[in-house]
Amino acid sequence: MMFDRTKKTLSIVSRRFTQTTLVILMLCQTTDAFSSVADAFDRSATQSKLGPKAALMSAAKVGDHVVVVGERGLILRSDDDGKSWRQLPSPVSVTLTGVRFTDDKNGYAIGHGGIVLRTADGGAEWKVQLDGRALAQTLLKKAEASNDEEAIYQAKLLVSDGPDKPFLDMLLLSPDHLIVVGAYGLVLETKDGGKTWASWMNRIQNYFGLHLYSIRKQADRILVAGEQGFVALSTDNGQTFTTLETPYEGSYFTAELLGDSEIVLAGLRGNTLISNDNGADWKNIKNPISASILASYISANGQIIMANQAGILLGLTENRLVPLTRKRLPPLTNILEKANGNVLALSINGPVSIDVGDLK
């Protein structure tokens, strides 16, 4: 049975490799050697005028401006609604995959190599709160103190593997409370702004260490979704998780929670599912475009908007996805609803502002 599972895993990985180049960007360093990863921890991002043309991965509203992050440690800021951008200093050169703010001052960025950055001044200055080297040693010490043989084994693997594990999504619940998820089943929480970290991996039955791409929270529900159809749901604010069975075994790159019991999942090849009963039953959402969906958000009017690798925005309407853009954009990595209701789309070629008038 283990052999069959391994063959199945290799087959899925092979198909994904040929179909999802943006996911490779999310998971892989531009250089694979661990020494290069470690070097990128200690090397500030290069100042460049080409930042607005680079691959960008995440965006956040901060007061009246926007901060975006991307490849090679890039952090950019716009003060004019995305018309122009300037690069902010970044202490690392690893790819940054996510950025969130709780208010005009306090925010975090996450990325490759287990990097967590923090700012307390709206993004003007960033400091490293965690990297893969410190992460592995911290988990090993806690595992040894608990005498948990499985935890010790997993922590030793992290130490021996090297600091190459990327974080891929996060929940920011307060200026000091952060939960991050990432490759190989990583789930970590800090309640003191990154001074100390606790693992949630023993709460989630992710036995094969599948990558976790998305984490969402609504009231006391917390959902994590990842590769090979993996989905886990907590209804007690993260204390315990139940693994959900879904009819699709490909990767889910994004998810949304609505109401008291509604879950929407989307991912590889455009596969999208909806459940109205916390995952007991699922329905396939019709999607006319088979490109992978990498990002989503719930708009101010309650509509779910998604972005795919074909460079198209999609809106969820009556259990079907409808294309919203008249023309194709570059392959999209993320989207953000701006204060005026317009959309900031991030792509492999930089940010693209979409006016409401451009939507059907």
Region 43-54: mean pLDDT is 92
With beta carbons less than 8 A apart as the criterion, state whether 311 and 331 touch. yes
Residues pairing with 274 in the sheet: 264, 283
The pLDDT of residue 161 is 72
Region 250-254: mean pLDDT is 98
Angle, alpha carbons 336-177-192 (nearest 5°): 140
Considering only residues 217 and 157, tell me which one the structure prediction assigns the higher pLDDT.
217
Q: From residue 307, give the alpha-carbon distance in Å to each of 83, 183, 219, 264, 344.
A: 21, 22, 25, 14, 11
pLDDT tens-digit series, residues 176-216: 999 999 999 999 999 999 999 988 988 999 989 899 999 99
The pLDDT of residue 156 is 81
3-state secondary structure of 18: helix
Q: From residue 315, give the alpha-carbon distance in Å to each of 42, 305, 312, 331.
A: 41, 5, 10, 17
Region 25-43: mean pLDDT is 57
pLDDT tens-digit series, residues 84-102: 999 999 999 999 999 999 9
Region 222-226: mean pLDDT is 98
Q: What is the mean pLDDT of the chain?
A: 87
Residues pairing with 59 in the sheet: 68
Handedness of CA 211, 25, 112, 116 (dihedral sign): negative
Lay out the sheet containing 212-218: strands in order across. 212-218, 221-226, 231-234, 242-243
**Of 333, 345, 321, whose CA–CA distance to 20 is shortest?**
333
pLDDT tens-digit series, residues 162-181: 667 899 999 999 999 999 99
Lay out the sheet containing 262-267: strands in order across. 252-258, 262-267, 272-275, 283-284
The pLDDT of residue 357 is 54
Q: Are strands 242-243 and 252-258 parallel, antiparallel or unpaired?
A: unpaired
Region 273-282: mean pLDDT is 98
Q: What percent of the chain has pLDDT over 70?
A: 88
Question: Which tokens in the block code for residue 68?
Answer: 């975006």
Residue owning tokens 């300037």: 86
With beta carbons less than 8 A apart as the criterion, state whether 98 and 111 touch. yes
Region 45-61: mean pLDDT is 94
Region 106-135: mean pLDDT is 94
| Phi, psi for 316 (deg, rounded to 5) | -85, 115
The pLDDT of residue 152 is 80
Q: What is the pTM of this model?
A: 0.87
Please name the residue ranges forming H helices in 147-283: 149-161
pLDDT tens-digit series, residues 118-131: 999 999 999 999 98
pLDDT of 28 > 70? The answer is: no
pLDDT-derived band at 283 (thresholds 50, 70, 90) equals: very high
pLDDT of 235 > 60? The answer is: yes
The pLDDT of residue 194 is 94
pLDDT tens-digit series, residues 293-347: 999 999 998 999 999 999 999 999 988 999 998 787 999 999 999 877 789 999 9
3-state secondary structure of 22: helix
Considering only residues 323 and 135, tell me which one the structure prediction assigns the higher pLDDT.
323
Report d(CA 25, CA 30) in Å as an integer: 8
pLDDT of 19 > 50? The answer is: no
The pLDDT of residue 5 is 38
pLDDT-derived band at 27 (thresholds 50, 70, 90) equals: low
The pLDDT of residue 280 is 97
**Of 280, 238, 249, 251, whose CA–CA distance to 24 is shortest?**
251
3-state secondary structure of 152: helix
pLDDT tens-digit series, residues 64-81: 899 999 999 999 999 998
The pLDDT of residue 22 is 53
The pLDDT of residue 325 is 86
User: Residue 23 is which amino acid?
Assistant: V
